Amino acid sequence: MASFYGYEPKSRLFLGTAQYPSPAILAEAVRLSGVDIVTVSLRRESGEGGAGQAFWSLIKELGVRVLPNTAGCHSVKEAVTTAHMAREVFGTDWIKLEVIGEDDTLQPDVVGLIEAAKILSDDGFSVFPYTTEDIVVGGRLLDAGCEVLMPWGAPIGSGRGLNNLYGLRTMRQHFPGTPLVVDAGIGLPSHAAQAMEIGYDAILLNTAVAKAGDPALMAQAFAMAITAGRQAFEAQPIEARDMAAPSTPVMGKAFLS
């Protein structure tokens, strides 16, 4: 199993905790899918004065590892402040770092991301950066102290799957020893399986499960697809070819015509 800052999760599915019909349904999804890392977004206003304490208590009751995130932050300063608040609230150095650069696509501001990653890494955080599949940016994030990269599959919440399969493959080949997580844009279990088949270490998703008609069932479906995709990767898939290759030996076949 891949190691994320020294932690080896049981499941390669990381689940976001927003937008579920209720915390009870979220808990059911976590339990039935066997997830053991969940992300939680923090809003400034919920952090101050502990007004969001009740929801965080429910998250803590899940008994899984929490990866707080800086969702919705648009500046380095905002992201850094939110990360510090998250460390205080959840007692963890882990932080999923999101610095949004564009509102329609929620595309990461990779310049701000690198800057914030450096500040937080220097401050002792274990940073999980939400980035694009750009390998130069990926290299800079590693230089900044990140030990995990989380490229998008497609824009957050869009459910479009792997928009740039070539780019994601290149990234995998370029960073063979770095844990890579496809974060965002996944809509279907088959999208997740595809990312695992090309060698990604884990999948982080939220909307595809939370907004499904039956979130717990969908979480299970994703968990199975991710296991299947990982096993396929480890089993070394065959290469596609242009012409048919009969699977039954033709040697010794009777010629009747």
Partner 1 sequence: MGVHVEIIGAGVVGLACAAELLDRGASVTLHERGAFAGAQACSWFAGGMLAPWCEGESAEEPVIRLGGEAADWWERHVDCVVRNGTLVLAPSRDRSELRRFGQRTSHFSELDGDAIARLEPDLAGRFSKGLFFEGEAHLDPRKALAGLTERVLAAGATIHFSSEVRASDLSGAVVLDCRGLSARDELADLRGVKGEMLLLRSRDLHLGRPVRLLHPRIPLYVVPRADGIFMVGATMIESADRGRISARSMLELLGGAYALHPSFGEAEVVEIGVDARPTFPDNLPRVIRRGRVIHINGLYRHGFLLSPAMARMAADAALDPARILENLHSGEFA
Binding site for partner 1 (CB under 8 A): 21-25, 27-28, 31, 43, 45-46, 49, 51-55, 58, 61, 157, 211, 213
Grouping H, G, I as helix, E, B as strand and the rest as coil, residue 26 is helix
- Smallest gap from Cβ 60 to partner 1, in A, equals 12
Q: Nearest distance from residue 9's CB to partner 1, in Å?
A: 20
- For the CA atoms of the chain, what is the radius of gyration? 20
Rounded-to-integer distance, Cα 59 and Cα 65, Å: 10
- Tell me: is residue 207 an annotated ligand-binding position: yes
Q: Is 199 marked within a binding site?
A: no
Bridge partners (DSSP) of residue 180 are: 149
Pick between residue 31 and residue 174 the one whose CB is nearest to partner 1: 31
Give me the numbers of helices (H) and strands (E) for the chain, helices first please.
10, 10
The nearer residue to partner 1, 5 or 55, going by C-beta atoms, is 55
Comparison of 174 and 211: residue with beta carbon closer to partner 1:
211
CA distance 46 to 235: 46
Tell whether residue 206 is among the known ligand binding residues: yes
Shortest Å, Cβ 64 to partner 1: 13
d(CA 65, CA 62): 9
Question: By C-beta, is 29 or 127 nearer to partner 1?
Answer: 29
Q: Hey, which residues are catalytic here?
A: 96
- Closest residue by Cα to residue 150 from 1, 14, 11: 14
- Please state the closest distance from residue 181 (CB atom) to partner 1, in A: 22
- Consult the annotation and say whether 184 binds a ligand: yes
Bridge partners of 67? 39
State the binding site for 1-deoxy-D-xylulose 5-phosphate: 157, 184-185, 206-207
